[in-house]
């Protein structure tokens, strides 16, 4: 069962959520890729919303990760920020996989 406010993009199998965050005033909802089907729901709390030219990205724990005006940065900086967010998500998935594997090994040795 999907979390409230989420839906599956049938073309890509990606779970989407409509999110809304206050960024410098009134907020604007935007749809965002949260996690691919088959990955853990650890990324369920990751969200980002945008208003006007400002973008605020929030990491998995809800802490401010970056706040910037994309149009003022140029493509290289925007790509760097996107990659850093992607690596953060990959690190979370890898960490969870390692913990799950360790838990499974512990259970099988008991």
C-alpha to C-alpha distance for 60 and 43, rounded to whole angstroms? 6
Across the chain, what does the average pLDDT equal? 45
Whether residue 1 is contained in a domain is answered as no
Whether residue 32 is contained in a domain is answered as yes
Whether residue 95 is contained in a domain is answered as yes
pLDDT tier, 104 (very low <50, low <70, confident <90, very high otherwise): low
Residue 101 confidence (pLDDT) above 50? yes
pTM of the predicted model over 0.75 = no
* Number of domains within the chain: 1
Apex 71 CA angle, 14 and 50, nearest 5: 45
Q: Model confidence over 2-35: pLDDT tens digits?
A: 555 555 555 555 555 444 333 333 333 333 333 3
Whether residue 52 is contained in a domain is answered as yes
Residue 99 confidence (pLDDT) above 60? yes
Predicted local confidence at residue 107, as pLDDT: 52
SS3 state at 104: helix
Predicted local confidence at residue 24, as pLDDT: 37
Between the ranges 21-30, 54-63, 81-90, where is the mean pLDDT highest? 81-90
Domain boundaries, position 36: 6-109
Apex 19 CA angle, 13 and 25, nearest 5: 155
> What Cα–Cα distance (Å) separates residue 106 from each residue in 55, 94, 98, 99, 100?
43, 18, 12, 11, 10
Apex 89 CA angle, 15 and 93, nearest 5: 85
């Amino acid at each position: 069962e999907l979390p409230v406010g989420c839906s599956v993009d049938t073309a890509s199998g990606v779970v989407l959520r409509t999110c809304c965050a206050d960024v410098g005033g009134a907020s604007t909802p935007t749809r965002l890729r949260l996690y691919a089907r088959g990955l853990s729901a650890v990324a369920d709390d990751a969200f980002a919303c945008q208003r006007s030219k400002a973008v605020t990205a929030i990491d998995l724990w809800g802490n401010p990760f970056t706040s910037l005006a994309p149009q003022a940065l140029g493509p290289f900086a925007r790509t760097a920020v996107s990659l850093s967010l992607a690596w953060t998500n990959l690190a979370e998935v890898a960490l969870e996989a390692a913990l799950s594997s360790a838990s499974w090994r512990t259970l099988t040795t008991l």
